[in-house]
Every structure is written in C-alpha cells, then in structure tokens.
Amino acid sequence: MSDVLIPAPPVAVPPEGLSIGDAARAVGLSVDTLRYYEKEGLLLDPAPRDGGGRRRYGEHDLAWLAGLVMLRETGMSIADVRVMADLSRRAGTEAERLVVLERHRERVVAEMERTRRHLAALDTKIASYRAVTGTSDDDQHPQDEGTR
C-alpha cells in the first residue's frame, strides 16, 4: 500500500543508480531543486552515496520523485508534500494520506473553478473587442482550432 502514489520511474535506472544530474533531468527538476527537496525532507530516504560520496538515485527514488513532481505541479505546497513524505515513511498511515490528498483536491477544484471564471471573463472581453474591430476568431488564431 505504501507504493500507491509512486508511479513507474520515468527512465531506466541502472543497478548503480543515477547521478543527481541524471535523476533531476529524468523527472524534470534542476539539480538545485532536487537538493532543496532533499534538504527539506521531501524524499522518502536520503539518497545513498557511492564510494566517492556522490548521491545515487535508484528506481524507488526516481518513482517517488516523479510522484513528488506531479503533486507539486498540481499546486501542492511544500508543507503538504512534507506531510505526505512523513506519512509515507510509516506503515498504516493511508487514512491520513487520504485526508491530505482530499484536502488538496478540494483546493485544486476551487482553483479550476476560479480559472474557468477567469477564462469566461477573458472570452467575453475578447468577443467584445472582436465585435468592435470586426475580426473573428479565425482571423486571429487559426492554429487554435484543435484546442476548442
């Protein structure tokens, strides 16, 4: 059950793991951001080190990082990601994790509703200006047809 939120690693990970640069690139982070996340306790475990003291990230690390990136892209706060990481380190905390995710989902839905209202207001404003200027949607954005 602890792997419920952990997606498959986004790249093949060799047995010796990936360097910090390769791991960051694989999940779409900068090295600085990955170091920050590690310093903030957002990873499940500290990255193991090789003989030279360099971090090496394995499949489980990459999978967790991919999930962390997804949560951050949904707007989840660092504080809530930290709570998820803390809870995920302990067995039997699925109910608490569910509460964090449901609360965050409510915030995401509210933000989507705000964004929909803003988009509707923009569409109204654009339609007004098109009416005044005598232009149509086709005149301005013919490449956008597939997105409507």
Read off the tokens for 38: 């590690």
pLDDT at residue 2, as a whole number: 45
Q: Is the pLDDT of residue 83 over 60?
A: yes
pLDDT tens-digit map of 59-76: 999 999 999 999 999 999
Q: From CA 14, how far away is CA 61, in angstroms rounded?
A: 13
- Average the pLDDT over 23-27 and give the result: 95
Backbone angles phi, psi at 64, to 5 degrees: -60, -45
Judge whether residue 102 has pLDDT over 90.
yes
CA distance 121 to 127: 10
**pLDDT at residue number 148:** 46
Helix (H, G, I), strand (E, B) or coil at 57: strand
Query: What pLDDT was estimated at residue 144?
Result: 55
